[in-house]
Amino acid sequence: METLGKGSDCVAWFNGRAKQVTPKVVKAFTDALPAARVYVSSDFEQAQKFAAQIAKDPPALLFSGGGDGTISRMLNWLREAGMDGFPPIALLRLGTGNGWPNAVGAPPFKKVLPKLPGLSWTPPIRRFDLIEVEGRLCQFAGVGLDATVLHDYAQELAKSKAQMVGSRVSTWAHKGLPGYLFSTFTVTIPGDISRNMREGRVQVTLENLGRPALTLDKNAKPVPVPHAPKTLYQGPISVGGAAVEPEWGARFKAYPFAQLVPGTLNMRVYDRTAFEAARNMFKLWRGAYPLPGMHDFFITRARMTFSRPMPFQMAGDSVGLREQMEFSIAPQTVDMVDWNALTLS
C-alpha cells in the first residue's frame, strides 16, 4: 500500500479565521506532511486566490481545516475557479459544529495528525451529492428556527464581547454548543413565541419541481408520494430545508435520512412550534423516527414559498431573510475520506 509519506501531492486548506485553526495547528500539520502545499486564508479575497492556484494544479488529496461553512465555501470557490470535478477531500475536525466531519467520522485533530504520513493514497471514500441553492453549493441549507438560532447566537456572542465580560464562565456560556443552547432558550424560543402570538405562525408551500418525489413509510423506507402531487406540503413551519449529509453539527442528526436515496436531496419540514421543538429536543437531536410533525421528502428540485420572510442559513452560516427559495441537486458530487472505515490506532 502506497502511503502519503511527506505528502508531496497533497494540499491543505485552513480557514485562518476558525477559532481552532491556530499557528500551532498549522505548524503541526506541516511537520507531519512537510511536502504538502499549505494555504491559510484570512479573508475571502485571499481564499479565492488560493482556489485559483489549487484549480490550476489540482492535488491528489485535499485536506480541509475549518467548519461546515469553510467546506461549502471552498467547494464554491474551486468551482468558480474552473474546477469541474473535485479531488478527494479529507475533512479535519477543526470547526465549531463539525457536522460534515462528524458524519464521516473525522477523529480529533491531535489523534489523526501523527497518522497522516501512513494514510493510503487510496483511502476509503464516501461519495456525496451536493445541494445547489441560489447558485451556491452546500451540504445543508434551510429556514426557520435553526437559522434564527445562528443569527441570535452571533448577536449574543458579539454582545458579550462588546461588554467585555471577563469571567471564564460567561465566556464559556456564549461560545460553541453552550452558546447555541443559551441563545436558543433565552432569545430564539421566547422571540418565536412572541412573534407567533402577534402575527400568527409562518405558512409554507413546498412544491416539487423535479422528478416524482419519494417520502417515508412507517418503517422509514422510501416510497412514492401518493398521486405524485406538485404540492408536497402546505401548512405551518418552524424548520425546513434540505441536506445531503445527516448532521448540522454537535452530533445533531437533523437529517438522519440524507443519503438514503442517492441522487436526491432529503427535504424536511417540521410543523410544530418552537415550544414543542424544545420539548422534543433530544428526539430531534438524535434523529428519532417517526416524530409527530416531521415531514420527509426526497426530491431533485423543489421550491419553498413562505407567508412572510424567514431567516435562511447555508452550511451553518446565517445569510439573511427569504420569502421564496429553490433547492436542487447539483451536477457535481464530492468524495470524502471515510474516516469511519479507517483504523487509526
pLDDT tens digit sequence for 226-261: 988 999 999 999 999 999 999 988 788 999 999 999
Q: Is 104 helix (H, G, I), strand (E, B) or coil?
A: coil
Range of the domain at 64: 10-123
Instruction: Name the residue with higher pLDDT: 194 or 316.
Output: 316
DSSP codes of every residue in 148-172: HHHHHHHHHHHHHHHTT---HHHHH
Looking up cell 480557514 gives 15
Buried b (16+ CB within 10 A) or exposed e, 219-244: eeebeebeeeeeebbeebbbbbbbbb
Count how many domains the chain has. Answer: 2
216 and 155 assigned to the same domain: yes
110 and 193 assigned to the same domain: no
* Confidence check: pLDDT of 278 > 90: no
The answer to whether residue 304 sits within a structural domain is yes
User: Of 63, 96, 123, which closes a domain?
Assistant: 123
The answer to whether residue 134 sits within a structural domain is no
The answer to whether residue 340 sits within a structural domain is no
175 and 309 assigned to the same domain: yes
The answer to whether residue 215 sits within a structural domain is yes
214 and 277 assigned to the same domain: yes
* Confidence check: pLDDT of 175 > 90: no
152 and 110 assigned to the same domain: no
Q: What is the pLDDT of residues 47-74, one digit of tens each?
A: 999 999 999 999 999 999 998 999 999 9
114 and 148 assigned to the same domain: no
175 and 233 assigned to the same domain: yes
61 and 180 assigned to the same domain: no
pTM score, whole prediction? 0.88
* Confidence check: pLDDT of 195 > 90: no
The answer to whether residue 157 sits within a structural domain is yes
317 and 239 assigned to the same domain: yes
172 and 303 assigned to the same domain: yes
CATH of the domain at 93: 3.40.50.10330
User: Of 72, 97, 123, which closes a domain?
Assistant: 123
Q: Which residues contact 265 (CB under 8 A, 6 or more apart)?
A: 129, 131, 242, 243, 244, 298, 299, 300, 302, 327, 328, 329
The answer to whether residue 39 sits within a structural domain is yes
Please say whether the dihedral angle defined by the alpha carbons of residues 127, 131, 137 and 138, taken in this order, is positive or negative: negative
CATH of the domain at 236: 2.60.200.40
176 and 65 assigned to the same domain: no
33 and 82 assigned to the same domain: yes
User: Of 123, 154, 177, which closes a domain?
Assistant: 123
Residue 275 pLDDT:
85
Q: In whole angstroms, what is the distance from residue 167 CA to residue 232 CA? A: 50
Tell me the residue type at 1: M
